[in-house]
Amino acid sequence: MFLQFLKLEYKSFFRGSSVGVNLAMKILRFFAILYFMGCLIGGAFIAFFYVEEEMHADAVKIISRFMIIAWALDLIVKYIWQEMPTQNIKPFLTLNIPKRTLVNYMLTKTFLSVFSWINSCFMVTFCIIAMFKGYSALGIAAWFIGISLLFYLNTFINILFNGKEAVAIAVGVLFLIVVGLSYYDILPLFDYSEWLFHSFYEHPYLVIFPIVVFAVLWWICYKFIHKEFYLDQGLEAKKEVGKTENIAFLNKYGAIGTFINNDIKMLKRNKVTKGILMGSFMFLFYGLLMFTSDIYRTPMMMMFMGLFVTGGFQFMFGQRVPAFDSSYYPLMMTQNVPYKEYLKAKWWLMNIVTGVSIVLALFYAYWGWEVYFTFFAAGLYNIGVNSQFTLWSGAFNKTQIDLNSKEKRIGQKNSFNLKTMLLLIPKMLLPMAVFALTKYFFGITAGVVSIAILGLIGFLFRETIFNIIVRHYKVEKYSTLEAFKNKS
């Protein structure tokens, strides 16, 4: 039966209305997967031989010491991006197929996801090298099985707690507390990690515990999904009672105020937009990466981080205009909607949040005013230039967005566009290059001023640029309508 399901998915892929785009996206994803596989395999060689030959330490013990970080990152990545393949299963619920077969197929297919197995590229390579270098074959096998099963447990955790935002926030706060306690040497986190993971190598019989936990969680997830596995219960879109609210003072700004009012309501009410708000807040701390390596302290990389620190919301929200309105976009296009005011409302909302981000980023001045001034310049560039180019790129984004479900799909059809990629040049590469060159020849003040001037020029010519953007939205209007109407 499992093979029959896979055969049907194969036919669905090649018989779909967007087979060309789907195939292109699959090819791009395939090369991306190959790239990350190569990085992980190469990382295994580097990690082993660096620890053995440079540090003169036990490679398995050292890797075990830091494995807790990899486990936490794996859990975060799976929660953000990995999803259950429920949509492909729905049509089978009306057929004479045992529900237990469908549930087991869903669980099995989840483990075939690239997010589940790609970390094995590192583990398998590392273990093969370790055995060739004289480590105990039995110990390495037990170490590999124990760690792999603990990583697979993240998939079960994702299934059980996905959609429970309160739990996700609580776990995130717990992670931050643990990291903080470890940073100040209050909690010996890495000692515990070494003790836990290295115990599988020292005492191979302990691998029985992750095997038992894996089996128990499989059964719990099976029962959980089996109980909710109905078209009118577990697989339906969750609906909430509508609430009427209004931000009155925005109404005095006419159509722009009305559109901003609606967008604020959308941001407050829906899962996808709440995730964007949370992601935008997390981008404020992106600049902390510069303290992990000297490479991030170069002028170009500091500007790159500044663009994301101050423009996280802008990039995540703006490039999905009008995809956020995909559910009612066809209806909206039948009304007398002032397109320019519609886009200006998005522009003002993005820039208001960008301005707030510039103020919140003031804490970077603790590490030097040069850092903050760089981020400040990046914020001005985001307001004057990137806000408009981000809206422009939204004209080519024809991916439907279901606001009531957590968005977890990477590489959807219609999400990749060459024009969108070309717009990255003025958005990212131009300010990085200008700032680096100006700072190199004339100093930090000239670098900040040069980027600020570019932002000011973009702001002064916004009306002209908006006219160009509106024309492109109108050119893409009918292909966008067709994409949003096609629910397949």
pLDDT number for residue 164: 72
Q: Which residues contact 347 (CB under 8 A, 6 or more apart)?
A: 387, 388, 391, 462, 466
- Own/partner pairs, 302-306, CB within 8 angstroms, 24+ separation: 302/371, 302/374, 302/375, 303/374, 303/377, 303/378, 303/431, 303/432, 303/435, 303/436, 303/451, 304/428, 304/432, 305/375, 306/374, 306/375, 306/376, 306/377, 306/378, 306/379
First-to-last alpha carbon distance for the chain, in angstroms, is 24
pLDDT number for residue 421: 53
Q: What is the mean pLDDT of each run of 10 residues along the chain (488 residues)?
A: 63 54 67 87 91 89 92 84 64 73 80 83 94 92 94 87 74 82 84 93 94 92 79 49 53 73 79 78 78 67 85 83 76 74 86 90 85 88 87 75 56 44 67 84 85 88 86 80 69
| b/e sequence 344-372, b meaning 16+ C-beta within 10 Å | bbbbbbbbebbeebbeebeebeeeeebbb
Indicate the domain borders of the chain: 16-228, 252-485
pLDDT number for residue 31: 82
Q: What are the structure tokens assigned to 123, written together? A: 């583990």
Q: Which residues contact 242 (CB under 8 A, 6 or more apart)?
A: none
pLDDT number for residue 241: 43
pLDDT number for residue 290: 66
**Cis peptide leading into 322, omega within 30 of 0?**
yes
- Residue carrying structure tokens 């998915």: 9
Q: What are the structure tokens assigned to 220, written together? A: 């719990």
- Looking at this protein, which amino acid is placed at residue 328? Y
**In angstroms, rounded to a whole number, what is the distance separating the alpha carbons of residues 324 and 156?**
30
pLDDT number for residue 294: 64
**In angstroms, rounded to a whole number, what is the distance separating the alpha carbons of residues 314 and 379?**
11
In whole angstroms, how far apart are CA 360 and each of 108, 234, 379?
Answer: 44, 40, 11
**In angstroms, rounded to a whole number, what is the distance separating the alpha carbons of residues 66 and 70?**
7
**In angstroms, rounded to a whole number, what is the distance separating the alpha carbons of residues 297 and 277?**
27
Q: Are 81 and 160 in contact (CB under 8 A)?
A: no
pLDDT number for residue 131: 93
pLDDT number for residue 139: 93
pLDDT number for residue 216: 93
Q: Which residues contact 345 (CB under 8 A, 6 or more apart)?
A: 255, 256, 257, 258, 259, 260, 263
Helices and strands (H and E) in the chain: how many: 23, 0
Q: What are the structure tokens assigned to 146, written together? A: 């124990």
**In angstroms, rounded to a whole number, what is the distance separating the alpha carbons of residues 113 and 151?**
13
pLDDT number for residue 416: 42
Phi, psi dihedrals of residue 401, rounded to the nearest 5°: -125, 125
Question: Cα-atom radius of gyration of the chain, to the nearest Å?
Answer: 25
**In angstroms, rounded to a whole number, what is the distance separating the alpha carbons of residues 312 and 350?**
10
Q: What are the structure tokens assigned to 234, written together? A: 């577990």
Q: Are 144 and 123 in contact (CB under 8 A)?
A: yes
pLDDT number for residue 412: 42
